[in-house]
Amino acid sequence: MSIADYDKVYDLWMHTPGMGLNSKDDSREGVDKYLKRNPTTSFVAECDGAIIGVIMAGHDGRRGYIHHTAVLEDHRKQGIGKKLVECAMNALDREGINKVALVAFERNHVGNGFWERIGFSERDDLVYRNKNIHTLDRIDT
């Protein structure tokens, strides 16, 4: 994935129910910053020139993280999401990362089903916390 893919990727995200986007981190500038920090670990899937799938993945030097994975509904159940995850996991492995985490909204039943099917386990021994440094406007999909 490169920043040149942004408009098509953003359109895909906007047409994927359950995505948790915000106005700053998921803006062109926010995604560009992420891709510059993680230049080899995010991928898109294309069909006939259209982006039909995306995974953003990166790491902090210790732990890998997956963000905003989506496949167009008409292209699901074809192994595209699984292949995107494999590409990201292999890229993270090449960078010495041994464990990958992700957050999915509880209401995102399709997404949670996918992650469960490909071997990502739910952790019930953690409490996820966050605090905004700046006000973020949510973008609902």
What are 66-82's pLDDT values in tens digits?
999 999 999 999 999 99
Which CATH number applies to 3-136: 3.90.226.10, 3.40.630.30, 1.10.10.2840, 3.40.50.300?
A: 3.40.630.30
pLDDT at 140 over 80: no
Q: Are 19 and 13 in contact (CB under 8 A)?
A: yes
> Rounded to whole angstroms, what are the CA distances from 97 to 3, 48, 58, 71, 77?
24, 33, 10, 25, 28
Instruction: Give residue 87's pLDDT band: very low, low, confident or very high (50, 70, 90).
Output: very high
- Judged against a pLDDT cut of 80, whether residue 141 lies above it is answered with no
pLDDT digits (tens, 9 = 90+) for 15-64: 998 888 999 999 999 999 999 999 999 999 999 999 999 999 999 999 99
Task: Read off the tokens for 141.
Answer: 């999909």
Strand ranges inside the chain, DSSP E: 20-22, 43-47, 50-59, 64-71, 100-102, 138-140
pTM assigned to the model:
0.91
